[in-house]
Amino acid sequence: MRSFSLFSLLSLSPLLVNGQLSGTVGPLSSSSSKASTKTCDVTDYGAVADKKTDIGDAISQAWDDCSNGGVVYIPPGDYAMSTWLKLSGGKASAIQLDGIIYRTGSDGGNMFMIEHSSDFEFFSSTSKGAIQGLGYEFHKDGSLSGPRLLRFYDVQDFSVHDIALVDSPAFHLSVDTCTNGELYNMAVRGGDSGGLDGIDVWSENIWVHDVEVTNKDECVTVKSPAKNILVENIYCNWSGGCAMGSLGADTNISDITYRNVYTWKSNQMYMIKSNGGSGTVENVVLENFIGHGNSYSLDIDGAWSSMDTVDGDGVQLTNITVRNWTGGEENGAERGPVKVVCAEKAPCTEITIEDFAMWTESGDSQSNTCENAFGSGSCLQEGDGSSTYSTAVTDTAAPSGYSATTMAEDLTTAFGTDASIPIPTIPTTFYPGATPYSALAGAGSAAATPAATAAAASRMRRRTWH
């Protein structure tokens, strides 16, 4: 079970989280305590909310003064950013983004890179802070050479919350070689093209929850190496869908749970993708998935043709549990709801598919495909992986209980790649019937200064699992 501060207990759902996390996540100290130590308002360092003056140097100077105990405060307003930031060595610090930052530079790399830091928080007190990447200015000409919006590298005990990441020229948020992190109450909205990942995580002990992603590539994806990752209450709203991979040489992923994932008009509900390679994926749970209108549903593909073949016999998958999936796939005769294709020399073992009820939204049949995958449920075969097989099972009648609810915010069209994407309001629900773990920071309140102790205290999220 988890333990909380008194304020957290009062402000959060009583639902206890159990999953694959191994310990505490989030900052060690509250933003209010950091603000009481020191607050560095970027307007005191030359920032101007005129959507023209570059804010990069002002943030850099404020970071120098507040990175070792303090809050870099970006007040409400529209700011331009043409120089990218590498903010390093922070301890007990925070960036409070209550304004909107518009990309005006054209370099690649990362607009914001936070590295080698601990006890850190990147957030908006109003839930209206955003980074607008204006990626369409690159994408309309077919280019993906622009920057990522936000990247964390070697950061411990941190959180990112209550911000929107919009129209990145490349990836939106990458969490690389980090530990004990929490990402929540976020909206990611990107263009309708590959290469525009939402959230990518290759780290240890990370909790991602209550997030909406719109794009046409990764929704929330785990990459290698990764361990003890919990992903829940995720709304892939016209997206590429959640995934694991692409997996290559020396894959090392274990103890991963995805729970309460709603996927609408996306490439897949969940995909584990590899082609050759080596290493292992073990102890994975994919539960409580709802899908509508997706090209693929469950797609475990050990011969994924969209990546070059990697040297090796294949990535070994073991102890994968898929349970409680409902809804419909776009065309079950072309792409059935279950595809588990594993390498002949690296068969999948201990695979379980249970309480799985999905049906085609087009036509009157669907075909499930299994190859070298051993376990129970669907078209899987019993065994220890010492033999090989390939089979397809066709269903001509809908399973009982497949019907599933939709969500009111389901998009009716994608955002394309040749026009600016509007900054969204962060939703207050991310999965049917699931209450978010915490209310939006800006719920019912106006802009808060860093010294607003009561509001800031509600953002303290030090969670402990035993």
Which active-site residues does the annotation give?
217, 292
Give the residue from 23, 24, 25 showing the smallest Cα distance to 161.
25
| Token representation of residue 461 | 């999220």
- Strand ranges for 190-225 from DSSP E: 199-214, 218-222
Q: Which residues contact 433 (CB under 8 A, 6 or more apart)?
A: none
Return phi, psi of residue 37, to 5°. Answer: -75, -50
Other beta carbons less than 10 A from residue 147's beta carbon:
24
Longest dimension (CA), the chain: 69
**Whole-angstrom Cα distance, residue 435 to residue 371?**
38
321: β partners: 285, 352
Beta carbons within 8 Å of 388's beta carbon, 6+ residues apart = 344, 347, 372
The whole-angstrom separation of Cα 459 and Cα 8 is 8
CB burial readout 57-71, b (16+ within 10 A) else e:
bbbbbbbeebbebbb
The identity of residue 102, as a single letter, is Y
Coil, helix or strand at residue 279: strand
Q: How far is the CA of 151 from the CAs of 52, 182, 456, in angstroms?
A: 24, 14, 24
